[in-house]
Structure 1
């Protein structure tokens, strides 16, 4: 049994989604509005994840859940009401969640995920992202393996007592707009391009009055004095701390004096001095981008290559030829004190050079697709955006959950052997969560649901067998095992809400191709407000 709830006509989205548009822009929002999300099981954690995806405006969501609403569900899930007890959990959650945003199409399937997967596994391959909560180990491995083969991103999220867990699984994830913190502006003062040199050379600081002198953009000021420095230092730019301090002193000497012989208040020169360290940073190829250029997906372009890799190949060809070893110019300059005309001219010089680089990349792109005898489906806007963010490209390769469970890596086993005995290390909760999953397979319920004391020894046996399987001789403290039994598999709403926010954030990263998602496991300890991210 399934059903859907149709949205009403959307309102002005630029107004409605104003704050998030500042985070991921029109392109990110467009991808979000086309996204189709599947949630397996409308638990408290699951509905919190969906809430945080519905509010920013995903295209549609489908809840797969064959469970009936219980009193426990009502107690820990804000999206279920007492009157819903006995009704299908997915349907009730679907109706209440859809009220959050009329732009979003809501669907539900009243069927257990195990049954649906056996009958129609292809159903899950139609989604942008599949998110699962409350899955037993057997079903988790089946669904994650299938989605892996279909290259559909899979996010598994668990709230277990005071512990939260997330796992992302997909073969590869590419990021164009990674939005790195503290990224330096692409100014290229160490290798200025011709158009910028011409603009600066036409500017004669010695013939300007005070007003004109104080409104020259600091970027031009630095260039002018850098030329003076280079003439006195065999063409070298300041590199050491002492050299940069001397260079700042040189710039300061250029500030005009008033009639009393005191320096004028020239904010542009102050800005030039403040920005010397960053402005003189060497233009270089980022290591991450070098590795992407060397990736087999870039070297061996074929008809079925993703647009990302075709663009990477085109940029690589640009770097070899027109770029002379460097990426396309970003074409963006920071704000600075200046008169409008001077700043606009400077800005236009950078934009025009960036546009020329985009044109050159586009020619290489056309050559690539022509050699493959395939149509070019990449728009000019996409090429421009790719060139602008070429320095921030990221490629993440994940391990499948099947590999993690059946063939644990040597690095993982070494980490476990070193860290598992430390109760202050949050990685120990990974072992306990895996042991709880094994417990469920053995006893068809979770430890502590009926009898806490009776289940402690059984859970401890599951932990011991798991560690023996990994050939780890150390053990986990009894107190932690007792604590997990006392949880009784409860899903606390506060933990579910926190994990829901975290999981939705990662899902948005996967959908938009912006910002860098974690790789590949995240564990949250609410008791100490700590977390750890590990690659398993």
Structure 2
């Protein structure tokens, strides 16, 4: 049995809970919304080892309101901990490190529950691997290679995400192990509006055709939404050219066509709505199509035979594929949102409602197909927010993402992306060399039971030994001995120490990745991230 020393928790007062919570978490609610916050608040994360890096990672999860944390750590607070770990102090030397760190971490947010276990991790893995089943995610730091590989296999088999986070001197490292991670709200940068001007739906087409720009008085003409302007002039263009403008030259000619419709204002200035139309040409006249990554995902969904264990994501993706193949006529559901425009309220609200109503119709079609598939599967857990989930799925269908990872144990046992490594190692500026060095120091530790440079009187000997480990590792990968001695000396100089500034930075980055996993929003790294504090550079690699 596990030795659980104590559990700490405190509940927030019921009165004014929503108002106070909204005030407390205002900034993060803008990032992942109420639904994301709710997932975070029911999340339970396990941290293995309350080192400087581990506690900094957990700090950035406790502050935004993670539901519960469990720390596994059988170490006692040592003098070196007090020099780089803000969650222990001199008075706690000799006491259980996880217990001390947990108490101080929970002071940051009384709403978070916490538990401390001082049993050795290897003992848990050997005797009670099911201990990890309740966790939403596991964070591991400061683990020897053999223990990490055992943990990797246990969590991979249990389908529990693992985030390995490490600071080693001036180098930071994050490795995410997750079998499959589906993302509906990926929040892409520079999102293109979904206006469908090249293939308008019937209600939009009917309304646009009912408007006559030439018959409008000057005031109305200068306040018609730019989407109407683009639609009208696109009809004129298509009559002459047979298809929307495709390249830079054609779009430049189209802009000149739009400008012919401008009326000069009494002030001599251009009409603002026409200026907006000109600026929107490049983004608003793009062909309505399905992004290649989403199409690949839909093709995969079409080949899935739904079962009671199929994730809701894939049930919705299958229904979405059926929509595209039939009702959607080859395109995704309408998103239902439009950008702000210079326009009179009546016309803008009318157009906005047309897009919103069409989006609701499309989502309703997908919802009916999801319900049909679910009923065919027999008894399964009811999704209380199914309608909202499908609406959200359809709204974000253009940016759906699925990440499929591989276990760390495979990477360490030889199944590694050698082309990625070889290409980067040929570049002397690539940060991937630090991945090689971290792998080499782990092999060094496995062989000599200490990290290179840990004992100052053995540094010169360790340099020679570490060079052997590096060259042996590169030889196993089919690479020549191309790592400079400077890197080997640098790793020996670190002696496996954790520098607090590096630990704080990489811990904050790792916490962001954990939040992405828990909320299923934004796209986590796939699969390795290296931070080089010497040059203030970083890189993400798929190994």
- Class of the TM-score when normalised by the shorter of the 2 chains: over 0.9
1:502 aligned residue (509, 531, 534): 509
The residue aligned with 1:391 is: 398
CA distance in 1, matches of 2:249, 2:226: 21
Deviations 1:468-508 (A, max 9, x none): 33333324222211211111110000000110111011111
Deviations 1:397-445 (A, max 9, x none): 1111111011333xx2234445446543211111111111111111221
Deviations 1:286-331 (A, max 9, x none): 1011111122685232221001100100101111110011111100
1:244 aligned residue (236, 251, 263): 251
Aligned 8 A contact 2:436 2:470 in 1: yes
SS in 2 for 1:37: strand
2:356 is equivalent to residue 331 of structure 1: no
Aligned 8 A contact 1:256 1:263 in 2: no
The residue aligned with 1:105 is: 113
Aligned 8 A contact 1:510 1:517 in 2: yes
Distance 1:418 1:311, change over 3 A: closer
Instruction: Indicate the larger mover: 213-222 or 459-468.
Output: 459-468
Q: 1:52-91, aligned counterparts within 5 Å?
A: 52-91=60-99
The residue aligned with 2:317 is: 312
2:381 is equivalent to residue 373 of structure 1: no
Distance 1:480 1:307, change over 3 A: same
2:483 is equivalent to residue 483 of structure 1: no
1:349 aligned residue (345, 350, 354): 354
The residue aligned with 2:58 is: 50
CA distance in 2, matches of 1:491, 1:169: 23
CA distance in 1, matches of 2:268, 2:204: 29
The residue aligned with 1:7 is: 10
Q: 1:117-516, aligned counterparts within 5 Å?
A: 117-234=125-242, 236-257=243-264, 265-295=270-300, 299-375=304-380, 376-377=382-383, 379-409=386-416, 412-420=417-425, 423-450=428-455, 451-516=458-523
1:80 Cα deviation after fit: 0.9
2:23 is equivalent to residue 30 of structure 1: no
1:264 Cα deviation after fit: 5.9
CA distance in 1, matches of 2:419, 2:219: 66
CA distance in 1, matches of 2:291, 2:371: 25
Aligned 8 A contact 1:521 1:533 in 2: yes
1:333 Cα deviation after fit: 0.1
SS in 1 for 2:214: helix
CA distance in 2, matches of 1:111, 1:80: 19
Aligned 8 A contact 2:336 2:359 in 1: yes
1:13 Cα deviation after fit: 1.3
1:265 Cα deviation after fit: 4.2
CA RMSD of aligned residues (A): 1.7
Gaps of 5+ in 2: none
Aligned 8 A contact 2:302 2:321 in 1: no
**What's the TM-score, normalizing by structure 2?**
0.94
CA distance in 1, matches of 2:25, 2:132: 29
Aligned 8 A contact 2:301 2:321 in 1: no
Distance 1:418 1:216, change over 3 A: closer
CA distance in 1, matches of 2:191, 2:82: 46
**What's the TM-score, normalizing by structure 1?**
0.96
SS in 2 for 1:476: coil
Deviations 1:113-149 (A, max 9, x none): 1122222211112100100000001110001111001
SS in 2 for 1:166: strand
Distance 1:91 1:414, change over 3 A: same
The residue aligned with 2:526 is: 519
1:252 Cα deviation after fit: 1.7
Deviations 1:81-129 (A, max 9, x none): 1111111000100000001111211211122211222222111121001
Distance 1:249 1:296, change over 3 A: closer
Gaps of 5+ in 1: none
Aligned 8 A contact 1:292 1:298 in 2: no
SS in 2 for 1:472: coil
Displacement over 6 Å in runs of 4+ = none
Instruction: Indicate the larger mover: 243-252 or 278-287.
Output: 243-252
Distance 1:404 1:424, change over 3 A: same
1:27 Cα deviation after fit: 1.4
Distance 1:297 1:148, change over 3 A: farther
